[in-house]
Structure 1
Amino acid sequence: MYDSKAVLGDCRDYWTFQDRERIPQLFQMTVCVDVRVVSPGRWLAFSYSSPRTPHYDLALEGDPNSLYAWLLGVRHRFPVRLEPRLWHRLCLRRDSLRNTFSLEVNGNAGEHQRTVIARVIPRHGELVLGCRPRDATLGAARGRVELYLFRMWEDVGEHQMCEDGSVVGWESRLWGVTHTRARVRDELLHCVPDTGARGFVSTPGQTFSTLASMFSSMMAQSQDTVNNHAYTPDNTYRNHPSTPDNTYRNHPSTHDHTYRNHPSTPDHTYRNHASNFDHTYRNHVSSSDHSSSYHCGTNLSELSANWD
């Protein structure tokens, strides 16, 4: 499911995690989700509620001016504004052993941390992506958001960009969707396996520097190809693409040429190849369809005698 994202507008479209039994009592917890605000307004990324609780045990929501994180019925405001139409990686961490609760935005840890003395997060609650009709606020304009890679771990450590969760994962296929429009395939999502045909993708918090670097590299490679063309008018191979750092000088298909730096033996020089003697054939012999060189098993004096 790495090629799918949740598209959430009004409170009729949402995802529900189907296996409540998988969520244990959490003394330590990390939840990460990628969020992209498509249109402004109030939005709810996810909520987790245990049975018979009036408020969220854990939730993340936002509006054009702030982010809000719920922990055991208490709403915490963080003065963070998300740039619209860009992906942002948001992580909540709860450590009941150290009494801390923090929000991490695009890998910037420690900026938004609170000291919270509270009990552990209860188990077997209901986990929902997006808002349900009962979550809607009268008169409030709902924003449209996209979510990707919701994951949950039983620790407060750092996790890789595309690492699946140990408690709840994006690839678990245990999500129920209220409507097909709430799940959209997108081959440009940053954790889709690279098949070589994907083009450029934007990752959370990423700028165009990577794109510029790749374009610069492509231009440099193109210029290098022009400067070191495989075949030049004087039949000279320079930096042959299949044999780096080897040079074809005096192409073997023409007369009076010799092999230098033979491509199959890097850093060695074929100078007028002959077998078992140290004389040089400088007059290249051509056959009907290919040029070749005489290889002699005798010396030159014997050859001359036989010729006479």
Structure 2
Amino acid sequence: MNDFRDNRPMQWLRRLFHRHVPRIPDALWRDCVARLPFLQRLPPHDLERLKRLCEALLDKKTFTSAGGLELTDEIAVLIALQASLPVLNLTLDLYDDMAGIIVYPAAFVVPQSEMDEAGVVHEWRAPVSGEALDAGGAVVLSWEDVEASDAPGYNVVIHEFAHKIDMGDGGANGCPPFLADYHRDIGPQAWQREFTAAYEDFTRQVDALDRQLPDDFDENDDVHASLHEALFAELPLDPYAASHPAEFFAVASEAFFVLPQPLADAYPEIYRLLSRYYRQDPLGAARHDAS
């Protein structure tokens, strides 16, 4: 693995690291912002605050490359930029439970386990695009999947950092920590009630669609894949949100920032709660820009 502080391409960051909080060159910042269409809703003063937050995150956390990836300024800034967006109106303290960020060139393989209804634990290894490790662990990302963040509603960086926020008061369970300085208008009981109801409703929808797939469904079969895409296209969230309450929160968070309208249409209370939690209103900003 390569640490960004010793990586040759990151000359501006290495040069300034021991003197000041690193300043991102303006041209690099503009290029990174331009690559993320969902940032266009932010007014200039918010973008400037986001830049300072991004610089602080780069200063506080170690970026490490793995799997032969050459870690560049652009990679570090693009990831830090997207990681900073959820806490734009909150605090970087929500990422205290994070050792650093590890970036692979593409999907990486991690051990998986699951207990079936009979109590038997099944273990296997599978490629993943991102992972947030609890108990002070790192956020691990696939750069190939980070670059795919322009896909509708998909953002692996926001997804994994939402998990890190969720882990702030223990393991990820879909109920993030409520901070006294920011979240006095959110009732934990109301949060649990609304998220549980939305998660159960979404799970029912996914289960109903799953039953329409062939018993021998194979995602590598073109016909089966086309049927799956057609069936699940109208869902307001990626079906992965049905796998666990923590995944519902993380998928809803990435949709909130990247493609909020379907989420708001299907689950207006979830959109409202996320807006209160993150202290941002992407749809309100879009309506303001259009007026």
Q: Same fold per TM (> 0.5)?
A: no
TM-score (norm 1): 0.20
Asked which structure has the greater CA Rg, the reply is 1
Query: Structure with the greater relative contact order (CA < 8 A, sep ≥ 6): 1 or 2?
Result: 1
* Higher strand proportion (structure 1 or 2): 1
TM-score (norm 2): 0.21
